[in-house]
Structure 1
Amino acid sequence: MLRIRQLRPTRRGALLASTTALLLALPATAGTAQAAPLEDTEGPARGEAYMGVGVQAHEPGAPVDEPIAPQATTEGVDVASHQGNVDWPALWNSGVKFAYVKATEGNYYKNPYYAQQYNGSYDVGMIRGAYHFATPNDASGAEQANYFVDNGGGWSKDGKTLPGVLDIEWNPYGDACYGKSDADMVAWIKDFVNTYKSRTGRDPVIYTATSWWTDCTGNSAEFGATNPLWIARYNTSPGELPAGWPTHTIWQYTSTGPIVGDHNQFNGGLDRVQALANG
């Protein structure tokens, strides 16, 4: 299904947006061709956000990097409700060995396809985990971490379960930074990761994009020593990483891969995926 992503104004772009709106409201002058109306686009319905929902909208047309040198990687996917029932045997046969499944969003949404996606990936032999799409304007970090753990985001040392993921990126429903200052956003993230660790014993992975992290946390370096980084960048390399992380653990490199769209590379062989699962 084609998903048309709406371009949302960032906190820093509010003045430009308001000025543009005022100009569009002025009547066209005689002898001047009036612009065609803008295409009516819609973002996802509330609850239907997914990993990378803002990446293409906010990082379009990035120049292609020089390809990185070959290295050991492991192919993975991430899925959410818009993929419905996933063909896990086909993904496994294509070489996909790990998966992350959206479990929750905010403090109000649970993925209705979670059981098929989470259990189905496990049943074909994949190492899998769950992720939470954060909406920091709806509830505290602690409340959302508890909601996540209580609804599929937990962890067990069985060699097949990856630690949970905090998906923190552009707000698809409003202000890109959820109306929070840099300091307030960092505090919210700390509240989430600390609560998740207290509930599960694991530091959650943080999924983000460098440009969002820079704009909405002030490029905080406070999480690089504890939380594995999952970087989103649709290019031939992960590019510049957020402050504090010397390397990435997972790289979401495309939203147009085979079968489910969102494809990822783990920074290491399958033994490193297993090591992350085992803590």
Structure 2
Amino acid sequence: MTSTSHGIDVSAYQAEQDWDALKNGGLTFAFAKASEGQTSRDSRFAAHIKGIKAAGLVPGAYHFAWPNQDAAKEAANYIAAVKPYAGPGFLHWLDLERYSDGRNYRGRTAAQIKAYATAWIAAVQKAFPAQRVGIYTSASDLAAGHVPSGVPLWYPAYPGTRVDTFAEAEAATKPAPSGRAVTIWQFTSTPAKGPRVDSNLAYLAPDALRTWAKNGATGAPSYTPPKFPTGIGPGKTNPSAKTLQAALQATGYMPKSVTRADHYGTQTEAAVARFHDAHPQYRAKGKTHDVAIGPKGWAALFRLAYGQ
């Protein structure tokens, strides 16, 4: 009995697939791009995901991340796109990868990118509590500390022509980037034979993959959203200085080397100003360099810092 499963992923770049033929050829799962950023939707998502589900494949969808935008709005965009199709056994993925020109990461620290990913995953997990939520990301993102722990990992790495078939991928050493367990390996986007399509190997047998997708005990652990630190919680419109400083440090707007104090001070004000520079929608009206966090800004900072 095989201990792996075969799959592909598609987006608007791929035409409609013969999903029944692909399943008969040994495919077990398929994922389709659903959304990107705060408002963009993939034009072929509905057609792809309907075909995937009709063929009886393990279905999933992914969202291309813009960590320098609002995580809550991006999660809402994805949730709205997939809600008509998601159900038991549906897999959700955050596609966290840098554009070649860096435009979707621009202006963000590693801590802020990790906070974004944590918040997006938590929001989608809350929307689909009985379904798996994972992350698709690269070795460089893992090494940079962009990825929260405890989430299933879909990992892209392309050895080239020596590994561009499922048989070659099964014979290859299982990747372990930064010591992380890989649930699915995307091993090529340009196979030597067949159309240009991303090929993926799941390290679970077909029956085990279906069980895992339905929240069975097999495979990687499900994600548990982080808890607020003791003494820190939502609903505070005038947070204490130390509480605010903790959130600013968790999101990378204040250096961790700064000692928290019972007063705001210039370093706290500068950190709040950096937060507002990145999120101008939370500034007080008419201000360009705001050092007052405000209730809406405070709520947004909490979401970034603690994923709730």
TM-score w.r.t. structure 1 length? Answer: 0.65
Where does 1:79-90 land on structure 2 (aligned, <5 Å)? Answer: 79-90=10-21
Q: Tell me which residue corresponds to 2:190.
A: 256
Q: Deviations over 1:115-137 (max 9, x none)?
A: 22101112122111111111112
Stretches of structure 2 lacking an aligned partner (at least 5 in a row):
160-171, 216-308
Cα offsets for 1:231-278 (capped at 9, x unmatched): 1111244533235x3x21111011123335200011010122112221
1:204–1:152 Cα change, 3 Å: same
CA RMSD for the aligned pairs? 2.2
Matched, 1:97 2:97: no
Q: Percent identity?
A: 28
Q: How does 1:1-279 map to 2 (within 5 A)?
A: 72-137=3-68, 139-152=69-82, 155-157=86-88, 161-172=89-100, 174-175=102-103, 177-201=105-129, 202-215=131-144, 217=146, 222-223=148-149, 225=150, 227-235=151-159, 236-242=172-178, 245=180, 247-257=181-191, 258-279=194-215
> What displacement does 1:176 show?
7.0
Given that 2:65 and 2:104 are in contact with CA atoms closer than 8 Å, whether structure 1 keeps it comes out as no
Name the SS for the 1:84 alignment partner: coil
Amino acid at match of 1:263: S
Runs of 4+ in structure 1 over 6 Å off: none
Counterpart of 1:213 in 2: which secondary structure? helix
The C-alpha deviation readout for 1:106-156, integer Å capped at 9, x for no partner, is 11211111122101112122111111111112x221211111011116732
* 2: CA distance, partners of 1:121 / 1:252: 18
2:76 partner SS = helix
Deviation for aligned residue 1:93: 2.8
Q: Which letter maps to 2:118?
A: K
Matched residues in 1 for 2:121 and 2:86: separation?
14
Structure 1 contact 91–259 (Cα < 8 Å) conserved? no
Listed as ranges, the gaps of 5+ residues in structure 1 are 1-69
Instruction: Call closer, same or farther: CA 1:271–1:145 in 2, change over 3 Å.
Output: same
Name the TM-score, length of structure 2 as normaliser.
Answer: 0.59
Q: Give deviations 1:180-199, integer Å, cap 9, x for gaps.
A: 10111111111101111111
**1:172 CA displacement:** 4.2
Q: 1:105 to 1:169 in 2, by over 3 A?
A: same
Q: In the alignment, which residue of structure 2 is the partner of 1:58?
A: none
User: 1:18 matched to which residue of 2?
Assistant: none
Cα distance in 2 for partners of 1:216, 1:177 equals: 14
CA contact (8 A) 1:132 1:166 kept: yes
Helix, strand or coil at the partner of 2:27:
coil
Cα separation, 2, equivalents of 1:83 and 1:145: 24
Partners in 2 of 1:206 and 1:190 — Cα distance?
10
Secondary structure at the counterpart of residue 179 of structure 1? coil
Distance in 1 between residues matched to 2:51 and 2:15, nearest whole Å: 12
Give me the whole-angstrom Cα distance separating, in 2, the residues matched to 1:169 and 1:277: 24
How many residue pairs match? The answer is 199
SS in structure 1 of the partner of residue 97 of structure 2: coil
Larger RCO, structures 1/2 (Cα 8 Å, 6+ apart)? 1
CA distance in 1, matches of 2:205, 2:145: 33
Partner residue, 1:53: none
Structure 1 pair 260/92, CA: closer, same or farther in 2 (3 Å)? Answer: farther
Listed one character per residue, the Cα deviations across residues 204-244 of structure 1 (whole Å, up to 9, x for unaligned) are: 11101112332362xx5x42x2x11111111244533235x
Query: How many angstroms does 1:162 deviate by?
Result: 2.4
Amino acid of the structure 2 residue aligned with 1:270? P
More helix by share: 2
- Structure possessing the higher radius of gyration over alpha carbons: 2
